[in-house]
Every structure is written in structure tokens, then in C-alpha cells.
Amino acid sequence: MSASTQIVKRKARSFPAPSVIPGFRATFGFTLFYLSLVVLFPLSMLVIRASELGLAGLYGVAVEPRVAAALRTSFFISFAAAAIDVVFGLVTAWVLTRYEFPGRRFLDAIVDLPFALPTAVAGIALAALYAPNGWLGEPLADYDIKIAFTRWGILVALVFVGLPFVVRTVQPLLAEIDVELEEASATLGASRAHTVWRVLLPPILPALLTGFALAFARSVGEYGSVIFIAGNLAYISEIAPLLIIVKLEQFDYAGATGIATIMLAISFAVLLAINLIQAWSQKRFGHV
Amino acid sequence: MEIRIEGVEKDFGDYPALRAVDLTIARGELVALLGPSGSGKTTLLRAIAGLSNPDRGRILFDSEDATTLSVQERRVGFVFQNYALFKHLTVADNIAYGLKVRPRRTRPSRAEIAERAARLLEFVQLDGLGARYPAQLSGGQRQRVALARALAIEPRVLLLDEPFGALDARVRKDLRRWLRDVHRQTGLTTVFVTHDQDEAMELADRVVVLDKGRIEQIGTPDELYDRPASPFVLSFVGEALALPVQVADGKVIFQGKELHVSSENLRNGPARVYFRPADIALHGGQIGALEGRVEAVRRTAAGLRASISIPGYDQTVEVDTDDRVGTTLGSSVPLSLNNVRIFSTAAEETLGDGAGI
Amino acid sequence: MSDALAPAIRIAATRRVTEEAPLTRYLLIGVAVAFLGLFLLLPLAVVFTEALTKGAGAFFATFDEPDARAAIRLTLLVAAIVVPLNAVFGICAAWAISKFSFPGKSVLITLIDLPFSVSPVVSGLVYVLVFGSQGLLGPTLSSHGIQIVFAIPGIVLATIFVTFPFVARELIPLMQEQGTVEEEAALTLGASGFRTFLTVTLPNIKWGLLYGVLLANARAMGEFGAVSVVSGHIRGLTNTIPLQVEILYNEYNIVSAFALASLLAGLALVTLGIKTLLEWRYAGQIAGRRRH
């Protein structure tokens, strides 16, 4: 390099990595600002209030009989609903991706209904359907089966809410299965059932788990579709989100904060579990 | 326009993508940047275009410092590797894009833009296809549209990133010839990136060979082929074989025997004798210093091709001959070498030319 | 002999090795159809049937009620504020995240997705904690006569929160896939940054943007839990359609409740219809259906 060469020195490292694409400052700045204002700031308020309660305070809220009962109700029924969704979601996804039959496309589109239908609408519809004088409630009452205004009602609502999570998580994987895999299994002498059970389903397992976790997480926090059909009897059919509202109406902010924090912690635990499942799946099967 | 690159360096994290690159490209020249992937050739092209800025050094367009100009101000015609055509615009609108986005003061009238786009379509031999969308074109046609779009802004230089990389072999050949014509007709200073040495040699006035972010050699195709500056250039530009030898007191020793190649300026120590497959032949007469064993003989259209192993060298050498008698299987044959180059292994440095053994 | 073999060959040819026996197939289809019918179609049918039990007159009378009209107006107003804001945010976030590389990107994406893993009720609660009478800013603001929760601003904020990720998470993977090369091409041709966005980026993401906006809008208009916490349920003032549905239902005004609900159910069906259409026609130009 000759002495006359003028060397323009630039920063070695920069944030972001150098690029000719313009607009990073403005868009990144607005993103951070809006995210902080609308999401992070209010959420941090919850964290601050919870830390004021302390672990002892949170524990105190959690063991309060009515709260404990509501958390138990929310948890166990959400778990059961997610499990039911896994079974029927898998069958639904399988049928929708593997078979051709009239109405398939319509059913495929309608699977997303629980995403699109406002929860309050789903709630009153389910309540009307299963009420003692409803289309389903009336015949069931003849057999002394009561669904609306019992815990079974909560289960029905949560199965409704969680279904698309399982179907939409599993469906893409089923669609991508290489037919040669099945053919290979068949040429090796495996029966069809054996092929499905030992060749097709194992790679789907992580997706099923993910779908289960998503449905479960959504169910625990669900409010609108449940409260109309649940009956909302304290200690029996009262869900945790409803109890938050009850506490707020009683101006028991500490109680509301406590329940919310416990629910939030559970959501994050589930989120973490999903990430772990996906990391494992990525390593084991090369896909999520 | 002349492009002068002075001391340009660029790092990607801890990885030096370009190291002390100095290069001058003369007005109207057609230059190839040749190298393997990761050699920095595309980084250099993008730096010229202003798509990335060097960490150090500068780039001059004639006497103007282009390093301080934005990519828009540089007015370079850039043809992207996969063309980067705008999928949602017709071919004609793609070509007209650069004119339409000009500020009102310098923007030609609608009619003029349309007329120019039509002329360019004709120039790239795609007249009548202006209303099509890129997805409706073949690979070669897209390449032409990309070029027309780049030419529409009346660029000061034309830069092409792997212009034929995405095309099949037959189309490549046609487009090569055509690009040569385009260069002649436009007279634009043109730089293209390629990893294909045939392409570089056939098209370019001068070839810049890059490796690991450094310029290995700049030269005409003849110079690169006949006087490669380094073992890298030698093996990258055409096929090359290398015999491991020892240099001692001006003598070049292979397997204990002296090869008669001149070894002036060579340091004592290990070295390699490089030669091209075409430069090895069965020596008609007496047994020389280099001797091989016939491992296999095959018939070719022209005559015979013998696979010959050389003791002390781990690869077999393919030699064309028409000597049926001298190449019986398993027999020893004398070999002669022409145009060998010797590089000392220690510092990978030159030099020593050899006319023959 | 060839006659005896022929039927066997034909059977083997009609049933491929990668298919189940017809009986299994019909059984599975039957289970899926019955399940979807029972859990999805039946509730949907109930909405429209209940709304029309007392005839079209009673159905339409619902919409003459001032409270119902106020609820519809408020819902439209909230959506008109929330959806554009979140769309602009989604575009900005997707631009910064997909067109540049910087450390901490995956953390940022996780934070953007955060509202999806928060219960709607908790989403409302956090705003009460900030703006409520015992909240951080509530007392200060109310002393200046500014009311956030139990008023329209609270409803807007809670709705922003629950629909926050829709547009961004649709656009981010889409724009990451598209890369930056077309934008670079536009820049070399002399286009300015904003011009490049308008003429190159926007046309490439328009269907994905529409998809995200559609989903955000459906959620914004139908949100119940979060809005319920912050609204205060003041009739004619802070009731959105879903809240009004709740009130009517609890008052045993079943026809009106379902009539208003059918409005939202109709919106859901239209949303699903357009969404499905987008997925069929522009499969390559939207990031597609993923979890919500």
C-alpha cells in the first residue's frame, strides 16, 4: 500500500451487521418502543407486584382453599381436554391429509373455527347446546347425564378450544411423510398397522407433544368459552381465570396478582417444555 | 470508466473476507474475478457496487471516491446471481424500474421510458415478451431481462455476479458468446464473478484470481495459463499434477535421481514440480530420469491412453500415445515433461522455470 | 389358471401398500367427521338457529337497540385503531428482524410472541395494575381527569395486547424467506429506501400482510376475556359486541344475545373463508398456516 493511499477506517463491529438496506434505526427503534410500551411495561408491572408479595405471599394465595380448588380444576380439566384433543386431533389430521372424500376441504377449513370464533360466542353456543333443554342436553338428560353447569361442561369447552392446536401442529408433518418410507416398510414385510405404528407415528410424536402443550397452555388461560357452560360454583366448577376477575371485583389485587403470576409461570414452563421438545426433535428427527 | 481499488479489506466477524486488495480495471475492459467459493470474489464485486462497504481502503470510479457514495449514487448496473427480478412486475416494468424511480427532474417521460424499455428488449433479443412475468420465462431469458434492467439506467460499469451459474450447460455456452457481444457493443467497463475457469478464460480480457480474500494473480488468460504465479493459480486454472522433489545445490532430485530442470533462485529443501497432463509424454528413446509403469491401456478415438504409475507419486498419470509396442501392460516406460514449474513447498513461493527434462 | 389369478391381481392393484383397508379408512373418516361435527359444526349451527327462533323480525330488532348499536360502533372503533397500529408495528418489526442480522434477534422474536402465551384475563389484569385506581399510574392520571381502565382507552390497550403478534409473526418468516436480494436490486437501480419498500417489498408481502391483518381483526373484534377485565361494563359506553352478548345472555334475552353473536360468527366465517382462499391461491406468498 503506497503512502499516498488514503485509508478510510470504519468501525470493525457494528449493530446491526453492516448492510445497504436502509431503515434499521427507525424500524428497530419503533419495534422496541412499541413492544416495551404495550407489552413489556404492563407485564413487568405484574412481576413487580408479584415480587412485592414474595414467595411466601404467592404460596399463601395458592393454598387458599378456593384458589387451590380453582387451580386444580383448571389444571386437571385442561390436561384431560388436551389429551382428548391429541387423540381426535391426530385422527382428524390423518384423515384430512391422507384421504380424499367429499367435504374434506370444508372440514379442513372449519378446523380453525375455534381460532376465529370469538370465545364468548363459542361459550353461549356450547352452553345452549348442552343445557338441559338444548339439542344435546335434552337427550342426554334422559340418561341422567348432565354436562352444562358441571365440570364436564368445562371439559367440552376446552376440547373445543384446543383442537386446532393439535391438528395444525401435526398436519404439516403428516403431509410431508415420504411415501417411499411406507413402501420400504411394506417391502420389508411389515403389515400396514405395524408400518403406521412403528414407522409413521414415531416422527410425529414430538409434534403431538407440542400440540398437547399448546392446547394445554391455551386451555389453562381460557375464559370466554368456559364461563357460560361451567356453572362457576366455587370449589367445584370455578376456573382460575374467573377467580382472577372475582378477586378484582373484590378489589383483592394481591389475590388476583398471585393467581395471574402462578398461571403465567405455568405458561412459561409449558413454553420452555415446547422448546425443549422441539430442540430434541430437531436433533432426533431433523425436523420440528 | 476506470475502477481503482486501493487497499480494500473486509472482515466478516473474525473471518477476513478481503485482504489488501489492490486492483485497477481499465475503461472498457472485461475482467473476470475468478476463485473458489469463499475466496472473496463476490464480496469484492459487492464492494464495487456499494452493496457492502469495505472496512478499510477505498474504491475510485475514475478520480471520484466511490466509497463515500451510496449504492443509488454509484449508478452501477448489477446483475444478481439469481437475477433478483421483481416477480410482481412484467418484464417491461422490470426493465423500466430504474427509470421510473428517478426523481421527477431527471425522469424521462412515460413515452420515453416505454420506448427505451422496448429498445432494450430488442437489444437483449426478447422483443414481444415485455408483457410477460418473470415466472413465465426460461432461465436464459431471465438472465437477459436482468441485464436489460441493469443497462436501462445507463450504468457507469456493469457488474455481474456468477452470470451463468444458474443455467444449464448449453444455454451457458450461448450466453457467454452473447455477453461478449454485449460488451463489445456497449463498451462498458465490465466485471463478472465466476468460479468456472473456462468461463473466465474464454470471456475476459484479464482475469483476477482470488483465494482466501487475497489476489493471487492478475493477468490475461495466456499469462495465467503459461506463467501462473503460484501453485494455487496453477492448479485452479486448469488441471495440474505435482511431483514432490528435493532441491539441493541447484539440482532437483526426485526419488534419488536428478530431474533436469533449471532451478535457479530456488531455495534448498522440499519443493514440487508442477506440470499439466498434456505436458507429460512417453519418451521415445532411452530411459531418462523419470520412469513409470504401465498400469492400464485403453483405446480412445485418437489412439491409446495409458494409465501410468510413477514410483514415489501417489496418483496415476494418463498419457495419450500411439505407441502400441512400448505400452505393454506392466512394462516400464521413460517419461518426459515439458513446461514444468517448480515451487518450493516451504513458503509456497516461486520460482524456477523448466523447459524440459 | 390365469383365470384364477386375475381377481387376486386386480385386488392387489387397487389397494396400494400405503393405504389402509377400506373399512379402517371409512371408520377413521367417520370418527373425524363425527367429532368435528359434534364439536365445531353443531355449536356454529346453534348460534344461527337460536338467533332466528323467534323469526327474522326479532332477529333484526336486536340491531335497533341503542345499546347494541353502541356496542357495534365501539367494536368497529377499537378495531379501526388497533389493527392499523399493530399492522404498522408488524411491518416495522418484520423489516428490522428479517432484513438485518443482529445479536439478540431470537429473544426479540420470543418477546413479540409473548402475548400469545398470556391468558386473556391476565392481559387485562396487567393494565388494571398499571392504570387502575390502585395502579402505578392510575391515581396520577385520574387526578388529571384521564381515565384509562374502565373506559375506551383501556379496551384499546387490552385489544392491542392480545392481537399484538398476529401481523409480525406472519410477516417475519415470510420476509426472512424472501431475503434482501430484490431490495438490493432496487437500490442499485437508484430507488430510495422508502420507494424500495413501497414498490418491491410491499407487493411481495401483500397477501401475507392481508392474512395477518385478517386474523388480528377477527381477534380484535371478538376479544372477550381481556376486554372484560378492563371495560367496566358500562352499557352503551364501554361494552363491545362480545360484552353486550354476555349481558344479554345473562339477562336471558337469548334471541338478542344470539343475534348479536351471529354477527361475530358471521365475521368468523368470512375470516375463515378468506383465510382459506388465501391459503389455496397464494400458498407461496404467505407464511402459511401455523399455530396461532
Contacts of C188 in chain B (CB under 8 A): 49-51, 71-72, 74, 76-78, 150
Contact B56 A8 (CB under 8 A): yes
pLDDT confidence of residue C134: 81
B309 and B328 co-located in one domain: yes
Contact A23 C95 (CB under 8 A): yes
Q: Is the pLDDT of residue C156 over 60?
A: yes
Whole-number percent of chain B with pLDDT over 70: 92
Q: Is the pLDDT of residue B240 over 90?
A: no
In this complex, the chains that touch A, judged by 3 or more CB pairs closer than 8 A, are B, C
B101 and B205 co-located in one domain: yes
Q: Label residue A190 by pLDDT band (50, 70, 90).
A: confident
Whole-number percent of chain B with pLDDT over 90: 48
Q: What is the DSSP string of A5-23?
A: PPPPP--SS-SS---S---
- Per-residue buried b or exposed e for C265-279, using 16+ beta carbons within 10 Å of the residue's own CB: bebbbebbeebbebb
B215 and B260 co-located in one domain: no
- In whole angstroms, what is the distance from residue C232 CA to residue C151 CA? 7
pLDDT, tens digit (0-9, with 9 covering 90-100), for A254-277: 899 999 999 888 888 888 888 888
- Mean pLDDT throughout B242-258? 81
Range of weakest confidence among A16-30, A201-215, B320-334, C70-84: B320-334
Q: Is the pLDDT of residue C287 over 80?
A: no
Q: Is the pLDDT of residue B32 over 70?
A: yes
Range of weakest confidence among A155-159, C18-22, C267-271, C278-282: C18-22
B62 and B192 co-located in one domain: yes
Is C182 near chain B, with CB under 8 Å?
Answer: yes
Q: Label residue A7 by pLDDT band (50, 70, 90).
A: very low
- Mean pLDDT throughout B228-236? 88
C-alpha cell at B148: 436489460
Q: Label residue A9 by pLDDT band (50, 70, 90).
A: very low
Contact B80 C185 (CB under 8 A): yes
Is C110 near chain B, with CB under 8 Å?
Answer: no
Q: Label residue B284 by pLDDT band (50, 70, 90).
A: low
- Mean pLDDT throughout A10-14? 54
Task: State which of B188, B213, B234 marks the end of a domain.
Answer: B234
Q: Label residue B220 by pLDDT band (50, 70, 90).
A: very high
Instruction: Give chain C's mean pLDDT.
Output: 87
pLDDT confidence of residue C16: 66
Distance from CA of B244 to the nearest CA of A (A): 35
Contact B97 C191 (CB under 8 A): yes
Angle at A122 between CA A120 and CA A123, to 5 degrees: 60
Mutate which: B70, B78, B85, B86, vs C, most C CBs within 10 A: B86
B287 and B310 co-located in one domain: yes
Q: Is the pLDDT of residue B349 over 60?
A: no
Contact B58 A8 (CB under 8 A): yes
Task: Considering only the beta carbons, identify the residue of B7, B11, B70 that sits closest to A7.
Answer: B7
B259 and B138 co-located in one domain: no
A residues 81-140 lying closer than 8 A (beta carbon) to C: 88, 91-92, 94-96, 99, 101, 103, 105, 107-126, 128-129, 134-136
Query: 3-state SS of A67-79?
Result: HHHHHHHHHHHHH
B84 and B210 co-located in one domain: yes
B306 and B226 co-located in one domain: no
pLDDT confidence of residue C288: 55
Contact C187 B75 (CB under 8 A): no
Whole-number percent of chain A with pLDDT over 70: 95
User: What CATH code is carried by the domain that includes residue B160?
Assistant: 3.40.50.300
- Mean pLDDT throughout A57-80? 91
Contact A117 C108 (CB under 8 A): no
Contacts of B50 in chain A (CB under 8 A): 20
Between C51 and B14, where is the model more confident? C51
The structural domains of chain A, ordered by start, are 30-285 (1.10.3720.10)
pLDDT confidence of residue C181: 93
Contacts of B54 in chain A (CB under 8 A): 8, 10
Please name the residue of chain A whose CA is at the shortest distance from the CA of residue B66: A8
How far is Cα of residue B43 from the mean position of the Cα atoms in its chain? 15
- Mean pLDDT throughout A201-223? 89
Contact C43 A241 (CB under 8 A): no
Whole-number percent of chain A with pLDDT over 90: 44
Task: Considering only the beta carbons, identify the residue of A5, A18, A19 that sits closest to B6.
Answer: A5
The structural domains of chain C, ordered by start, are 56-289 (1.10.3720.10)
pLDDT confidence of residue A182: 81
pLDDT confidence of residue C127: 93
pLDDT confidence of residue A100: 87
- In whole angstroms, what is the distance from residue B341 CA to residue B228 CA? 9
- In whole angstroms, what is the distance from residue C250 CA to residue A242 CA? 16
Q: What is the DSSP string of A151-193?
A: HHHHHHHHHHHHHHHHHHHHHHHHHH--HHHHHHHHHTT--HH
pLDDT, tens digit (0-9, with 9 covering 90-100), for C100-146: 999 989 899 989 988 988 999 999 999 999 998 888 888 888 888 88
Distance from CA of C285 to the nearest CA of B (A): 11
pLDDT, tens digit (0-9, with 9 covering 90-100), for A99-125: 888 989 899 999 999 999 999 999 999
Task: Considering only the beta carbons, identify the residue of C187, C199, C203 that sits closest to B72.
Answer: C187
C residues 90-129 lying closer than 8 A (beta carbon) to A: 91-93, 95-97, 99-103, 108, 111-112, 114-115, 117-122, 125-129
Closest CA to A88 of C21, C25, C289, C28: C28
- Mean pLDDT throughout A173-189? 81
- Mean pLDDT throughout B295-302? 84
Closest CA to A226 of A87, A88, A83, A81: A81
Q: Is the pLDDT of residue C221 over 90?
A: yes
Between C139 and A162, where is the model more confident? A162
Q: Is the pLDDT of residue C162 over 90?
A: yes
Q: Label residue B357 by pLDDT band (50, 70, 90).
A: very low
Contact B7 A10 (CB under 8 A): no
Q: Is the pLDDT of residue A173 over 80?
A: yes
Distance from CA of C131 to the nearest CA of A (A): 9
pLDDT, tens digit (0-9, with 9 covering 90-100), for B121-157: 999 999 889 999 999 999 889 999 999 999 999 999 9
Q: Is the pLDDT of residue C9 over 50?
A: no
Give, as one character, the DSSP assignment of residue A227: H
Task: Considering only the beta carbons, identify the residue of A43, A129, A163 that sits closest to C46.
Answer: A129
Contact B52 A1 (CB under 8 A): no
Closest CA to B320 of B291, B277, B285: B277
C-alpha cell at C23: 373399512
pLDDT confidence of residue B262: 67
Q: List the domain range (segments joined by +) for residue B256.
A: 239-353
- In whole angstroms, what is the distance from residue A27 CA to residue C88 CA? 10
Contact A122 C33 (CB under 8 A): no
pLDDT confidence of residue C2: 47
Is B238 near chain A, with CB under 8 Å?
Answer: no
Task: Considering only the beta carbons, identify the residue of A39, A223, A270 that sits closest to C164.
Answer: A39
Distance from CA of C217 to the nearest CA of B (A): 27
B12 and B92 co-located in one domain: yes
- Mean pLDDT throughout B92-108? 92
Task: State which of B173, B204, B234 marks the end of a domain.
Answer: B234
- Mean pLDDT throughout C198-214? 93
Between A9 and C284, where is the model more confident? C284
Range of weakest confidence among A63-67, B168-172, B192-196: B168-172
Give, as one character, the DSSP assignment of residue B303: S
pTM, full prediction:
0.85
Range of weakest confidence among A76-80, B248-252, C57-61, C171-175: B248-252
B213 and B265 co-located in one domain: no
pLDDT confidence of residue A204: 87
- In whole angstroms, what is the distance from residue C202 CA to residue C186 CA? 13
Range of weakest confidence among A83-87, A141-145, B84-88, C220-224: A141-145
Distance from CA of A55 to the nearest CA of C (A): 19
Is A265 near chain C, with CB under 8 Å?
Answer: no
Contacts of A20 in chain B (CB under 8 A): 50-52, 70-71
Q: Label residue C260 by pLDDT band (50, 70, 90).
A: very high
Contact B72 C190 (CB under 8 A): yes
Q: Is the pLDDT of residue C62 over 90?
A: no
What strands, in cross-sheet order, belong to the sheet with B189-194? B76-79, B157-161, B189-194, B30-34, B206-211, B214-219
B159 and B223 co-located in one domain: yes
Q: Label residue B286 by pLDDT band (50, 70, 90).
A: very low
Task: State which of B234, B268, B295 marks the end of a domain.
Answer: B234
pLDDT confidence of residue C15: 59
* Contact call for residues C223 and C241 (beta carbons, < 8 A): no
What's the number of CA atoms in the CB half-sphere (13 Å) around residue C58? 15
* Contact call for residues B281 and B335 (beta carbons, < 8 A): yes
Q: Is the pLDDT of residue B354 over 60?
A: no
- For chain B, what is the domain count? 2
A residues 9-48 lying closer than 8 A (beta carbon) to C: 15-17, 19-24, 26-28, 30-31, 34-35, 38-43, 45-46
B20 and B140 co-located in one domain: yes
Is A145 near chain C, with CB under 8 Å?
Answer: no
- In whole angstroms, what is the distance from residue B133 CA to residue A287 CA? 35
Q: Is the pLDDT of residue B101 over 60?
A: yes
pLDDT confidence of residue A288: 60
